[in-house]
Amino acid sequence: MNKLSLRVLIVDDNKDYRQLIRWALTSALEHVVIQEMTTGQELVDWLAHHRKQSTAEQMADKCLVTIILLDMHMPGLSGLDTLQSLGDMSDLPYMPVVMLTATLCDQLKHQAYNQGIHLYMVKPIEIGGFYRVVEAVKLCYRDMLRRWEQQEVPPLGSTYH
């Protein structure tokens, strides 16, 4: 199998925050492809459009997305609402989701994990904290590579329950 590209979707309504995450990722990682979105609905629509373009097998083979960095609180669809919408798209390929939030609420954290996120992170407010986001992306990427090489990629849609 071919090595997966590192593709990250940043979904956050705060432009400055998206730019800081982009800066941290591009400063620390080579050959990362980043797509920014401002709402959960934009993510859902983008994935729905792209899944129509390709069969699930082709989409997984291209690795449309390696990791989604998803804000918890956005206008319209919240991060949890977005996860629910993604769960309704059963033919999506496996994509790790890192939930980024300023909320320290155990109930929301448990809900997010129950809906299939891989990591719940409190948004960093200092530059050094953004490197934790980079490390989370690297960890998800290494896990995806391991699964891909061992052909253990979970069934389509298994990320979102």
Domain boundaries, given as residue ranges, for the chain: 8-149
What is the predicted pLDDT for the residue at 66? 76
How far the first Cα of the chain sits from its last, in Å, is 27
What is the predicted pLDDT for the residue at 122? 87
Strands, E, within 81-142: which ranges? 97-101, 119-122
CA distance 100 to 121: 5
Q: How distant, in Å, are the alpha carbons of 99, 136, 142 from that of 119?
A: 6, 8, 14
What is the predicted pLDDT for the residue at 160? 43
What is the predicted pLDDT for the residue at 70? 95
* 139 Cβ contact partners less than 8 Å away, ≥ 6 residues apart: 119
pTM of the model: 0.82
**By the 8 A CB rule, do 98 and 119 touch?**
yes
What is the predicted pLDDT for the residue at 50? 74
**What is the CATH code for 8-149?**
3.40.50.2300
- The mean per-residue pLDDT over the stretch 112-136 comes to 85
Is the pLDDT score of 150 beyond 80?
A: no
